[in-house]
Amino acid sequence: MKLSKVTGTVVSTIKYDRYQGHKLLKVRHLTLDGWTVGEEMVAIDMADAGVGDIVLTNNDGGAAKMITGDKEIIAGLTICGVVDSYTWQGRTIQCH
């Protein structure tokens, strides 16, 4: 799992059937000190996240299968939770 920041939404008029009822969001991974790294990626949202939220992302395709109970869903990046705070090097970082 990695910390990521939700940077935007993805609007799709036609969506893979298994994605119905789930948002697609743009995210960028974060370093533990809060800097964005890498490119923006699209993630399926399983945690009701929104733009600006710090989230836990899982790049294991099995995460979406486990959360939805759908063994056929395909997802390379899944938002598994919205982070309120975390502690790193003895410092607590508030995410809201």
Q: Which CATH number is 2-94 given? A: 2.40.50.220
C-alpha closest to that of 69 among 1, 22, 24, 4: 22
Q: What is the pLDDT of residue 44?
A: 93
> Is the confidence at residue 89, as pLDDT, over 80?
yes
Q: b vs e for 65-89, b when ≥16 Cβ sit within 10 Å of the residue's Cβ?
A: bebbeeeebebebbbbebbeeeeee
Q: What is the pLDDT of residue 68?
A: 83
Rounded Cα distance, 3 and 16, in Å? 26
- pLDDT tens digits for range 16-56: 888 888 899 999 999 998 899 999 999 999 999 999 999 99
Tokens of 70: 């759908």
Domain parsing of the chain, residue ranges: 2-94
Comparing C-alpha atoms, which of 67, 74, 57, 63 is closest to residue 15? 74
